[in-house]
Chain A
Amino acid sequence: MKYVDEFRDGRSAAGLLAAIEDLVAGMGLAAGKSIHIMEVCGGHTHSIFRYGLEGMLPRQLELVHGPGCPVCVLPMGRIDDCVAIAEQPNVILTTFGDAMRVPGSRKSLLQAKAAGADIRMVYSPMDALALARRNPNKEIVFFGLGFETTMPSTALTILEAESDGIENFSVFCNHITIVPTIKAILDSPDVQIDGFLGPGHVSMVIGTAPYEFIARHYGKPLVVSGFEPVDILQSIWMVLRQIKDSRSEVENQYARVASAGGNAAALRAIASVYEIRPFFEWRGLGSIDYSGVRIRDAYARFDAERKFAVPNVSIPDPKSCQCGEVLKGVIKPYQCKVFGTACTPDSPLGALMVSSEGACAAYFQYGGVRKAGAA
């Protein structure tokens, strides 16, 4: 498969690994010391586990699996609200597949569906709009979630609904934005991160400029990375090279997709439909200022939060969860006290066990073959 196989090639990977090993060895780290690199995006986490990259890296290089799995960080209160909308008569709730299993305080969407709510998996918000056209007597609600990667498609769907005069379609908006969350992590006192792999698909939309403060203000290197194993290894090597040279810059490994300025049309759609919320709650990280968006007044009739009465109650994370510490790189997933016992993909307690992009679920499913001490 073109543009895929060459980025998974074992020989390219081996060459990059050798270069990474050289760089790490050349740093002369003291025994017990290691370099921590956070991959922000859940798609990177998935690839790292899917291709077994973590076990190939030198022991003095630790990957910290960041908060960039939008499904994982949905707080329980928002799932409760979503279930409450889905349970209203005459509503068809539409959602991306991997949001189905996220636990709320009462039930997940999968459980609500089993109990009779009309909940359907879609692959695009446009599918939800098509459903609204076909079912004029039903209210179709799309569970909008994701970072800037999925924001434009939801925005364009709302714009199309408006221009076509479709009244029975709305969005339960849970779109979030990654930059304030990276800042919140960097401001946290116990953080242990030496550099970042930046999210490739978010950057395709927003460009690379929004990360400049990470390099300038916090002095941390960031490399926007693609999602294939060779992309990720090359990006790790680029971060290490910056650390070795005592540089902190924003570099772009994923130039075949992401550009410095981003996608102007997508940014216009985002700006016209959404505005920043004063704060938004993240599972595992708590409330973060300016980290979510909501639908502007001009499109209020497409806003499910205004169309339906939702409980809007904040539910605290289970006390035993250590998701926040995992996200900040303080502990590894398997060091959490409920990992694999009270918290499993079957019945997740914490954010990171929820989606296959969550670090804990990835460890559980694919196994930290070397570091978790398995096999």
Chain B
Amino acid sequence: MNAAVLRAGRALGKVHGGAVTLAHGAGGRAMKDLIDDVFIASFDGASRTPLEDQARFDIAALAAKGDRLAFTTDAFVVDPLFFPGDDIGKLAVCGTINDLAVGGAVPLYLSCAVIVEEGTPVDLLRRVAQSMAQTAAEAGVQIVTGDTKVVNKGACDKLFITTSGIGVIRLGVQLGVQQARPGDAVLVNGVLGDHGAAILEARGELALRSPITSDCGALHDLVDVLLAAAPGVRCLRDATRGGAATVFNEIAEASATGIEIDERSLPIRGEVRAFCEILGLDPLYLANEGKLVAIVPDDQSDAALAALRAHPLGRHAAIVGRVTDGEAGRVTVRTVSSGRRVLDMLVGDQLPRIC
């Protein structure tokens, strides 16, 4: 029973014992009980149809929503599993929703595959599953299939989650990373770097106490609002790993344009700035989980900005730069001191500087 469609037309099993063991991944009764008790009870406890090995969709119903399917997948391995603002479950749902949303797709269905390290408390797993269920319900998407594997102690770090998602792209929506044109405005929907800073702080290795919380959120509703206000939007990207700087570079490279960012206009919380100052990090490279970069034709940029700012997830939206006819693929920053520098992609991780 690898792919289990999460609709159970029967009494749900109950898991025995407080921690996950290898027996819970062995394919027998214990595994069934774990899946029933933790996942099916959280995701779809009310709907009792027989379990199948796959989710099934009505093609006509999908086709009524748009003219193209969007399909994406993402793996989540965050440490710690629970961090200020959110947890790996919410992250796993929002991350995949956002990958669909920034393609202009209406997110509809998710899968959920978990790899659990033996010894992980069942309650922890249940909290994560309930967080996923709540996030999915709020976002109007369904988790329709899943898989559970249990591995030996040390073979994974507590819990890894992979979600895949299907969405439908509406007729006429044509977003593409290669479509930026000189003169276009570069927008972000809010403060940058919160998630990356929150995770670093939550690991507890820094002896820093900060009130920074993750910005994890599902962006599809915000994208709807944005596309309605500015139908000419060229492209959208969610600025996750690698941060906004990496997305700026991806867009400049794909579109063979330059991009100039105005450092003064970047929305970054004071706490995140201070955090980065102390550690020698650049917030433009910190991960976000509820932030997108939008490239918008100049004549629609005001409307786009107003629409973003009117949405709860876009209150701090800003125009942060321009697409230019400068060197193709080159992102530059006009600094707060009025100098100019290149903003490149990072080679690897940002490493804190010694002094």
Q: Is A99 an interface residue (CB 8 A)?
A: yes
With a CB–CB cut-off of 8 A, which chain B residues contact A5? Answer: 336
Q: A365, B355: Cβ atoms under 8 Å?
A: no
Name the residue on A nearest B336 (C-beta): A8
Please report which residues of chain A, range 124-174, place their CB below 8 angstroms from some CB of chain B when the two chains form the complex.
124, 127, 145-147, 149-150
Interface core residue of B273, B277, B327, B347 (most chain A CB under 10 Å) = B347
Q: A46, B341: Cβ atoms under 8 Å?
A: no
Interface core residue of B270, B274, B332, B355 (most chain A CB under 10 Å) = B355
Among candidates A10, A146, A364, residue contacting B337 with C-beta atoms closer than 8 Å: A10
Total inter-chain residue pairs, C-beta < 8 Å:
119
Name the residue on A nearest B260 (C-beta): A375
Interface core residue of A46, A50, A124, A146 (most chain B CB under 10 Å) = A50
Q: Is B17 an interface residue (CB 8 A)?
A: no
Min distance, Cβ A68 to any Cβ of chain B, angstroms: 10
With a CB–CB cut-off of 8 A, which chain B residues contact A344? Answer: 347
* Mask: chain A, 45-89; 1 = CB below 8 Å from B; 0 = not: 010011111111000000000000011000000000000000000
Q: Is A294 an interface residue (CB 8 A)?
A: no
Among candidates B335, B343, B344, residue contacting A51 with C-beta atoms closer than 8 Å: B335
Q: B355, A52: Cβ atoms under 8 Å?
A: no
Q: Is A264 an interface residue (CB 8 A)?
A: no
Q: B332, A369: Cβ atoms under 8 Å?
A: yes
Q: B355, A14: Cβ atoms under 8 Å?
A: no
* Mask: chain B, 329-350; 1 = CB below 8 Å from A; 0 = not: 0101111111111111001100
Interface core residue of A13, A150, A201, A344 (most chain B CB under 10 Å) = A13
Q: B348, A366: Cβ atoms under 8 Å?
A: no
Name the residue on A nearest B344 (C-beta): A365
* Mask: chain A, 324-338; 1 = CB below 8 Å from B; 0 = not: 000000000000000
Q: B327, A9: Cβ atoms under 8 Å?
A: no
Q: A52, B333: Cβ atoms under 8 Å?
A: yes
Complex: how many Å from CA A53 to CA B333? Answer: 12
Interface core residue of B258, B334, B341 (most chain A CB under 10 Å) = B341
* Mask: chain A, 17-56; 1 = CB below 8 Å from B; 0 = not: 0000000000000000000000000010010011111111
Measured as residues with beta carbon below 8 angstroms from the partner, the interface class of chain A is 35 or more
* Mask: chain B, 249-272; 1 = CB below 8 Å from A; 0 = not: 000000000100000100000100
Q: B341, A51: Cβ atoms under 8 Å?
A: yes
Q: A14, B353: Cβ atoms under 8 Å?
A: no
Q: B326, A375: Cβ atoms under 8 Å?
A: yes
Q: B337, A52: Cβ atoms under 8 Å?
A: yes
Given contacts A1-B270, A229-B339, contact A101 B277 (CB under 8 A): no
Interface core residue of A8, A101, A367, A374 (most chain B CB under 10 Å) = A367
Q: A13, B337: Cβ atoms under 8 Å?
A: yes
Chain B contact residues: over half helix, strand or loop, or mixed? loop
Among candidates B207, B258, B340, residue contacting A55 with C-beta atoms closer than 8 Å: B340
Among candidates B205, B207, B336, B355, residue contacting A201 with C-beta atoms closer than 8 Å: B355
Measured as residues with beta carbon below 8 angstroms from the partner, the interface class of chain B is 20 to 34
Q: Is A346 an interface residue (CB 8 A)?
A: yes
With a CB–CB cut-off of 8 A, which chain A residues contact B205? Answer: 121-123, 127
Q: A1, B273: Cβ atoms under 8 Å?
A: yes
Q: A52, B344: Cβ atoms under 8 Å?
A: no
Q: Is B11 an interface residue (CB 8 A)?
A: no
Interface core residue of B274, B341, B354 (most chain A CB under 10 Å) = B354
With a CB–CB cut-off of 8 A, which chain A residues contact B64? Answer: none
Please report which residues of chain A, range 92-113, place their CB below 8 angstroms from some CB of chain B when the two chains form the complex.
96-101, 110
Q: Is B9 an interface residue (CB 8 A)?
A: no
Q: A49, B270: Cβ atoms under 8 Å?
A: no
Q: A145, B354: Cβ atoms under 8 Å?
A: yes
Among candidates B264, B270, B341, B351, residue contacting A100 with C-beta atoms closer than 8 Å: B351
Q: Is B352 an interface residue (CB 8 A)?
A: yes
Among candidates A97, A201, A366, residue contacting B351 with C-beta atoms closer than 8 Å: A97
Q: A96, B335: Cβ atoms under 8 Å?
A: no
Q: A70, B342: Cβ atoms under 8 Å?
A: no
Name the residue on A nearest B340 (C-beta): A52
Given contacts A100-B351, A355-B353, A375-B330, contact A10 B344 (CB under 8 A): no
With a CB–CB cut-off of 8 A, which chain A residues contact B340? Answer: 52, 55, 369, 375
Given contacts A101-B348, A121-B352, contact A14 B206 (CB under 8 A): no
Among candidates B274, B342, B352, B355, residue contacting A375 with C-beta atoms closer than 8 Å: B342
18 A-B residue pairs with CB within 8 Å: A1-B270, A1-B274, A5-B336, A13-B339, A54-B339, A56-B338, A96-B353, A123-B205, A123-B352, A146-B355, A149-B355, A229-B337, A357-B353, A364-B344, A365-B342, A366-B342, A367-B332, A375-B342
> Which 4 pairs show the lowest CB-CB distances between chains A and B?
A52-B339, A367-B342, A97-B351, A52-B341
Given contacts A98-B354, A344-B347, 8 further A-B contacts (CB under 8 A): A1-B270, A1-B277, A8-B336, A98-B353, A101-B348, A146-B354, A367-B341, A374-B327
